[in-house]
Amino acid sequence: MRPRRTDGNQAGIMRALNQIPGLSVFDSHAFGRGFPDLIIGHKGRNYFFELKNPNQPRSGQQLTGPEKRFHSKWKGRLIIVTTLEEILDAINIKTQRSA
């Protein structure tokens, strides 16, 4: 089985998230089958994020077939993001950078 590809912005976002107190961050991109790239725990809630690279052409930012199928069947919250700021906004974290 081939290793799963990550978006080019994922490593930097993961490093930044791991520096924020009060978050638990799990890189789940390798699960495959359309499963979201990141799971973040914050204040007793879990957030699933599908990360897309804003530096890719619009076609490269689209959901893959497996991602579309997973998203259509998932009954919980699943958020598509391209930046660290979008993630922090979704989980309602204000930082010096985003304030």
pLDDT 10s digits, 3-37? 456 667 888 999 999 999 999 999 998 899 999 99
pLDDT at 99 over 50: no
pLDDT 10s digits, 40-84? 999 999 999 999 998 888 888 899 999 999 999 999 999 999 999
Contact, 8 vs 55, CB < 8 A? yes
Contact, 83 vs 54, CB < 8 A? yes
Say what the pTM is. 0.84
pLDDT at 1 over 60: no
pLDDT 10s digits, 38-51? 999 999 999 999 99
Contact, 41 vs 71, CB < 8 A? no
Burial class of 92 by CB neighbour count within 10 A (0 to 12, 13 to 18, 19+): exposed
Q: Is 12 helix (H, G, I), strand (E, B) or coil?
A: helix
Q: Which CATH architecture has domain 10-90?
A: 3-Layer(aba) Sandwich (3.40)
Burial class of 51 by CB neighbour count within 10 A (0 to 12, 13 to 18, 19+): buried
pLDDT for the residue 3:
43
